[in-house]
Each structure stands twice: as C-alpha cells, then as structure tokens.
Amino acid sequence: MPKSAPNPYRLLPAVEEVLSSEALAPLLERQPREQVARFVGQVLDHWRAEIKAGDLDADTLEARLGEGALVRQTAQRFEREAKSGLRRVVNAAGVVLHTGLGRAPIHPDAAAAMERAARTYGTLEVDRFSGQRNQRDERLGELLVRLTGAEAGIAVNNCAAAMLLLLNTFSHGRETIVSRGELVEIGGSFRMPDVMSRAGAQLVEAGTTNRTRAKDFASAASERTGLLLKVHTSNFRVVGFTEEISVTELADLGQEFGIRTAFDLGSGRLEADGTPLAALADEPSVQAAVRSGVDVVCFSGDKLLGGPQAGLIVGRREAIRELRANPIYRAVRLDKVTIAGLESTLGLYLAGRAAEVPSRRMLELTLEELRPVAERLARSLSALGEFEAQVVEDASQPGSGSAPDVLLPSPVVRLRSGLRSAEALAKALRHGEPAVFARIQADELVLDPRTLLSGDEERLLTAFAALVASGDGDTTRAGA
C-alpha cells in the first residue's frame, strides 16, 4: 500500500510552541510578547492559506521550518512595521506638488511656527490686547484680505471642505448651477456632483461638455437657484471647439439675478513679487478671480500657495459672514498648528519673500540651475559601478492637478542597470532607507533633480549605495 502524502497542516506549530522556542528568544528580548505572538500568528495564517491554495506542500514547509523561515519572517514583519506610516522620502519623481508624497514641503519658518504652536499654549481664540474672545482665523483672514484684495477671508481644512461649506451655506435645499464641462472629479473620491448632493444642493447643469455660454446660465437660473458656481477644471482640459463662461460673466449674472456666485480655483496661484511662476501664467490667479467680482473664491493651501493643507475662502464680507455662521464651519475649521503654518506662509508673501517658499522656488528652477545637480548625480551614480547614468533633457510637472498641460523643462538622470529592471529598481528604492521615489519612463528609471530638497542629493546617494551593497535584488523580493 502506498504511503499517503503527509498532511502539511500538521507540520504547522502552535503559536505558543513557537514563542517558547529558543530561536525566538532574541526577538522576544526586544519586542513585547503580544506583538511577537501576533506576527507569528500572521505568518502561520499566511502559510495556512498557501497550503489551502495548494501552493505549499509538506516537504517545502518542512524545509522552510528547518531553515528558520518562521523566525525570519516574524522579524521582517517588525522591520516592515517600523518603516510604515508617514515617513520621510526623497522625491526624485519631478512632480512638485505630488499629492501622494504630501504636496508642498513648507518653508522652515512655517514649520518652526507649527512646531511651536503644537508644543506651547498660544493666543488661539483670545485677543491679547483686549483679553476678549476672538475668531481663531481672524489674523489669517486679515492676511488673506491684504494679499488678495478681497473684503474678507476664512480658512478651513482643505479646498474640498471649503466647497462643502459654501455649497451647504448658499445652496442647501436649493439649486446650484454649474457648467456641464466643469463637473469634474478631483482626486479619488471628490466628485463635484457627489459633494453637491452631500451638501444638500441640487445640481443643475448648464451648457454642454465643450461649450457653455452666459445665456445657458441665465436660462437655467430661477427663484430656486442658490448659487452659480464655476470650477477650475484643474486636472483636465477640453481642447478644440470650446467655450466657457468667464468668471466675470458669472459675477455679472449673479449681480443681475441677485444670486450668490463662487469660483473654485483649486490650485490657486497667488501673484507675488519676485516669483511670477511664468510657466503657470495661464493658471487663473486668486487676485484676478477676486477682481472679477465673484462673491467667493476658494483655493487650496498646499498647492501653488506652498503652505500646509488648508482650504482658503476669500470674498465679500457678507458672504464670508454667512459661511462663518454655518455649524459646518465649526466641523471643518483649522487646528492651531495649521493656522500657525499658514500665518507664517502668508506672512512670507506679505513680506515680499514668496520666492523663498520651497515649492514656488522649485517651480521656477531653470535648466541652467538644475543641470549641474543632474550632472553631479550622474557622475556619483555611475561611480557605484552598477549603473549607466545619462543626463537628458526632459520635463517635470507642477502636480496636484495644477496645469496638467504645463511641463517644466528639466535635465534628468536616466539610469540603466545591468542587474535589474527599472521596475525592480524603483521598488528597491521605495523599500530602501531613506525611501526614494523616482519615475519610470520608457522602461528606464528617471531621477529628476527639480524636486530634491536641501540634503536630498546626499540622501539619494546613500540610498543608492545601500541598494548596490545589498546585492542584486534581495530587497526587491522582501514583501510586496
């Protein structure tokens, strides 16, 4: 009679048994017992699933256990956990306002102000001169007024919250008219029609996808209309036979019909001395939007402004007062740390120091300024032996949906490795310490110097040196 195949499930040890094994003792000295037990359990569960799927037989499992894979994989889970969460990365992808990498890196003064606000008590809602309670964003509002020319300003968590607040305030139980061509999705779960319905506003579309005129808005307007809205279609463009209602026309219509008007600018380019952001000249500026006469304009704090995450709303005094009176404002208002960072960032603009805002500086860097960095990088990377590095002219992107058709000419380093594919290289860099995010183009790894911060060149080289030292791909196989 043939011997029946051994049952692999029987070979899986119990968690308790593993915990009392000698091999696990060093890990137990460093980590709490419950956490070790949890990860041992996870590894065993994973193996159990492999057996169930028919991917792991008794012989292979026995070999695995024999060579200490259980302890090793448990330890790897600790290593991976230590590297998870929000960690510093080197952005060599060349996308300045990279949403996945946290958009704008803020000015050191703003960061210092944020740290101070977090660690200490502060005048958040008291006026130190009168001793009276005041609004937490009073100073912010004043800075916004001086910078944008609006009558008043208010700040909330992000531009999505600003939209929710203004749709709910001006159009709850009423209609909001928007051009059909501007019903955009901005990022993963932010679709204009969805936000509108959640805000209690009823959507009325005007015009067609490619053409909307003022008279389309005029004929859609009625006594049920609460808001005429214009949305900057940040992340896409309709080209060809197109026509859109201008913000001035929208403002005029609102005046004529006595209906509130709003312009969601999104990226919000603030005009500032010294940094014209010439490449982004086609992005509507906040000041121009205010001048158009629309009641309120909203824009993000962490896109072209270059500050911490926030949604800024500026406009007519009366309209801002209404927004402030809405209980939703209380739910989406800013915390003291962000207020400190924003006050500091806007202060830089007011002091004529906008050119110091890191993301603005990155957006203005020229080919001539970047070439020496690219060449230095290429030389150092070539010296590591594994790579063939070449400097070629390419383009970076502003990012976060700002001006998708604007490309910023950049000299980049194109890397080729004899040992691994561009994909494997990019993955190893993401797993490395410090993590590096590069871009892949035509099956080659591309490093863009535009988005490197002070010290990043050294960090990048450290990461590459570690990667080369680790051999031909072990790091690429550890985990997904």
Ligand X SMILES: *Cc1c(COP(=O)(O)O)cnc(C)c1O
Q: Is 283 in the site for ligand X (CB under 6 A)?
A: no
Closest CA to 99 of 414, 397, 394, 355: 397
Contact flag: residue 394 with ligand X (CB under 6 A)? no
Nearer to ligand X, 36 or 323 (CB): 323
Asked if 341 is part of the footprint of ligand X (rule: CB under 6 A), the reply reads no
**Shorter beta-carbon distance to ligand X: residue 264 or 394:** 264
Instruction: Considering the complex, state which of residue 29 and residue 282 has its C-beta at the smaller distance from ligand X.
Output: 282
CB of 87 to ligand X, least distance (A): 21
Residues with Cβ within 8 Å of residue 425, at least 6 apart in sequence? 415, 417, 438, 445, 467
With 0-12 / 13-18 / 19 or more C-beta atoms within 10 angstroms meaning exposed / middle / buried, residue 263 is buried
Size of the site for ligand X (CB under 6 A): 14
Nearest CB to ligand X, comparing residues 114 and 231: 231
What's the number of CA atoms in the CB half-sphere (13 Å) around residue 96? 32
Among 285, 300, 338, 359, the residue binding ligand X under the rule CB under 6 A is 300
Q: Does 264 bind ligand X (CB under 6 A)?
A: yes
Is 110 or 467 the residue whose CB approaches ligand X more closely? 110
Taking CB under 6 A as the rule, does residue 179 contact ligand X? no
Per-residue x/- track, 213-232, ligand X (CB under 6 A): ------------------xx
CB of 451 to ligand X, least distance (A): 19
Least spacing, CB of residue 450 vs ligand X, in Å: 21
Question: According to the binding rule CB under 6 A, does residue 199 interact with ligand X?
Answer: no
Alpha carbon distance 430, 424 (integer Å)? 10
- Which of 27, 131, 17 lies closest to 71, judged by CA? 27
Q: Return the residue of 141, 266, 284, 399 that touches ligand X, per CB under 6 A.
A: 266
Closer to ligand X by CB, 166 or 422: give it: 166
Q: Does 397 bind ligand X (CB under 6 A)?
A: no
> Shortest Cβ distance from residue 401 to ligand X (Å)?
5
Supply 473's token pair: 């791909």
Q: Which is nearer to ligand X, 232 or 316 (CB)?
A: 232
In angstroms, what is the minimal distance from the CB of 284 to ligand X?
10
User: Does 401 participate in binding ligand X (rule CB under 6 A)?
Assistant: yes
- 12 three-state secondary structure: coil
* Residue 258, token pair as written in the block: 């006595």
Q: Is 324 in the site for ligand X (CB under 6 A)?
A: no
Task: Give residues 146-165 in contact with ligand X (rule: CB under 6 A).
Answer: 158-160
* CB-based contact 168:229 (threshold 8 Å): no
To 10 degrees, what angle do helices 422-431 and 456-469 make?
A: 110
Among 141, 207, 308, 311, binds ligand X (CB under 6 A): 311
Cα-Cα-Cα-Cα torsion 290, 291, 292, 298, nearest 10 degrees, comes to -10
- Taking the complex as a whole, the smallest distance from the CB of residue 305 to ligand X amounts, in Å, to 10
> Which residue's CB atom is positioned nearest to ligand X?
266
If one asks whether residue 345 binds ligand X (CB under 6 A), the answer comes out as no
Q: Examine residue 166 and tell whether it contacts ligand X (CB under 6 A).
A: no
Please report which helix (H) or strand (E) contains residue 153, including its range.
strand 152-156
Q: Does 306 bind ligand X (CB under 6 A)?
A: no
The H-or-E segment that residue 474 falls in is helix 474-477
- Residue 28: count of CB within 10 angstroms of its CB: 15
Q: Give the nearer residue to ligand X in terms of CB position, either 182 or 322.
A: 182
CB of 262 to ligand X, least distance (A): 11
How many whole angstroms separate alpha carbon 463 and alpha carbon 450?
18
Q: Does 267 bind ligand X (CB under 6 A)?
A: yes
What is the pattern of x (binds ligand X, CB under 6 A) and - over residues 440-469?
A: ------------------------------
Q: Are strands 260-266 and 225-231 parallel, antiparallel or unpaired?
A: parallel
User: What does the DSSP assignment read for 356-420?
Assistant: GSHHHHHHH--HHHHHHHHHHHHHHHHTTSSEEEEEEEEEEB--TTS-TT--EEEEEEEEEESSS
3 state SS of 89 = strand
Confirm or reject binding of residue 314 to ligand X (CB under 6 A).
Answer: no
For residue 154, list its beta bridge partners: 313
Residue placing its CB nearer to ligand X in the complex, 313 or 445? 313
d(CA 7, CA 165): 61
Contact call for residue 186 and ligand X (CB under 6 A)? yes
Applying CB under 6 A, among 168, 234, 338, 359 the residue interacting with ligand X is 234
CA nearest to 307, candidates 87, 99, 116, 110: 110
427 CB-near residues (< 8 Å, 6+ apart): 476
Summarize as ranges the residues that interact with ligand X (CB under 6 A).
Answer: 158-160, 186, 190, 231-232, 234, 264, 266-267, 300, 311, 401
